[in-house]
Amino acid sequence: MVKSIMVQGTASDAGKSIIVAGLCRILKQDGFAVVPFKSQNMALNSFITKKGYEMGRAQVVQAEAAGVDPDVRMNPVLLKPTSDRKSQVVFMGEVLSDMDAVEYHEFKQELLPKIKEVYEELGSENDVIVLEGAGSPAEINLNSHDIVNMGMAKLVDAPVILVADIDKGGVFASIYGTIELMPKEDRARIKGVIINKFRGDVALLQSGIDMIEELTDVPVLGVVPYADLAIDSEDSVALVQKSRRFDVKKDLDVAIVGLKRMSNFTDFHSLEIQPDVSVRYVMPGDAIGLPDLLILPGSKNTIEDMLYLRESGLEKEILHCLEKGVQIFGICGGYQLLGKKISDPLHVESDRDEISGLGIIGATTRFNAVKRTTQVQAEHQGQVLAGYEIHMGETTLDEGVTPFSTITVQNGENTRRTDGAVAHGGQVQGTYLHGVFDNLEWTRAYLNMIREQKGLAPIAEQVVTLEEFKDREYDKLADLLRNALDMKSIYQIINQER
């Protein structure tokens, strides 16, 4: 039998993903072969595995914490919203189709046999699987067709820990309400509760803990303090907590346009950890101003986001930045927005046939039916950059436009093709490479170039590698959870001794 433990939450953003990552790290430290698993993830942050399959970033973070390579089996279903009503359904790393909520609700039961199969494969290869739920298990209108919360727990007979976010308030009501809304069979699966994101003296919480344990007959396994860890967040819920202001204590102001369908904002985590960089997100109603670097991020619906830029007035602000000499960088959909035209004759992303872009780069993008999902290496100004591509658009450069890089390796095989573009004497750059800023040596050189333009001295590149930095943060997370949680009880739950 596969040993497992499942982390569910009283609501979205309760901290399920980070608790799973921390438990994976602890189990790894304790000598176990452990992997994460989430049967269904809804997020616009995704990653491409070494084999070219697409999966959710949350399970990538958890895999890193577990010390293993990301494997698409860890996240067999990925839903990527394309509009308010439809999502692109990615199954085992490949696109199935776009579906609305009703279509998918009826269809998803067909995926369960394969989900169980890949789960059991992972179980046969590892000691423990740490599962993550989605949203809340008390969504009583959806539970009859659930495949990610109690439906998944029942499918694989996994014990459950419930995580509740105290930072938002109403933590005891959310714990009690969630448990009480469950059928008796599901309630029996909950073996413990974790109260997450606490600020203050735990002693003041004890009377409430005693009462909620008596009311629910479920033990509280610990109270996790609020912590500021440099670990990737799962999805756009985390953007609410991102800064919208320039930190005047930092030298460089980096503004990222918060597109309506923004994807892969994890591309900018490596900028957020730079000592001289203040990263802010330009959300609806905000002004771009004149930052040192303006970034247009990825988008799941580039045409819709071009309309947003136009209708919100941000298009004029971006063009004003260009006129004033601001460095501009576009990634994937952001790169497409910088071009002259975006066409969608097959209506892959939109009902529109085409739309004019910002016109900053001499390039035209056409959407195709086939998505490119590749891990790549690219040559750029004498350096080798690693990254990954996730896009359905193909971009053609006007004659005389210089590419950003040359792709030399694609999913482990040698190739040679151009990527991206450079315009306006290097002031504007665009690329399809997600993760480009994770190449810290190149990133430091790029930031130092901007510093010199401001009359500031360059600073030394980061001494530790990105992998070393991440490892340090995962170890901090493990220490935090070890100190906050009753790990003896958690191991008993994993071993189904309680």
The pLDDT tens digits for 153-211 are: 999 999 999 999 999 889 999 999 999 999 999 999 999 999 999 998 888 899 999 99
Percent of the chain with pLDDT over 90: 80
Whether 380 is catalytic: no
pLDDT attached to residue 237: 55
The pLDDT tens digits for 121-133 are: 999 999 999 999 9
Residue 246 lies in a domain: no
pLDDT attached to residue 436: 96
Closest CA to 426 of 367, 464, 381: 381
Whether 321 is catalytic: no
Residues 113 and 26 in one domain: yes
Q: What CATH number corresponds to the domain at position 97?
A: 3.40.50.300
pLDDT attached to residue 238: 58
- Buried b or exposed e, range 293-325, using 16+ CB within 10 angstroms: bbbbbbbbbbbbbbbbbeebebbebbeebbeee
Taking the C-alpha atoms of residue 164 and residue 157, their distance in angstroms, rounded to an integer, is 22
What mean pLDDT, rounded, does the chain reach? 93
Say which residues have a Cβ less than 8 Å from residue 391's Cβ, sequence separation at least 6: 332, 333, 371, 372, 432
On whether the CB atoms of residues 355 and 305 are closer than 8 A, the answer is: no
Q: What CATH number corresponds to the domain at position 267?
A: 3.40.50.880
Taking the C-alpha atoms of residue 179 and residue 163, their distance in angstroms, rounded to an integer, is 12
User: What does the block give as tokens for 60?
Assistant: 């990538």
Confidence class for position 95, pLDDT limits 50, 70, 90: very high
Residues 385 and 479 in one domain: no
Taking the C-alpha atoms of residue 493 and residue 437, their distance in angstroms, rounded to an integer, is 40
Residue 466 lies in a domain: no
Taking the C-alpha atoms of residue 313 and residue 307, their distance in angstroms, rounded to an integer, is 10
> Which is catalytic among the residues 24, 269, 321, 332?
332
Residue 465 lies in a domain: no
Residues 424 and 484 in one domain: no
Residues 449 and 475 in one domain: no
Residue 247 lies in a domain: no
The pLDDT tens digits for 271-288 are: 988 999 999 999 998 999
Residue 462 lies in a domain: no
Residues 292 and 326 in one domain: yes
Q: Say how many domains are in the chain.
A: 2
Residues 266 and 190 in one domain: no
DSSP state of 463: S
Residues 162 and 216 in one domain: yes
Confidence class for position 236, pLDDT limits 50, 70, 90: low
- Asked whether the whole model's pTM tops 0.85, one would answer yes
Residues 195 and 89 in one domain: yes
Residue 138 lies in a domain: yes
Residues 287 and 213 in one domain: no
Residues 191 and 256 in one domain: no
| Confidence check: pLDDT of 468 > 80 | yes
| Confidence check: pLDDT of 239 > 80 | no
Residues 134 and 18 in one domain: yes
pLDDT attached to residue 182: 94
Structural domain including 336 reads 252-453
Residue 51 lies in a domain: yes
Residues 214 and 297 in one domain: no
58: amino acid identity, one letter: A
Residue 463 lies in a domain: no
pLDDT attached to residue 463: 62
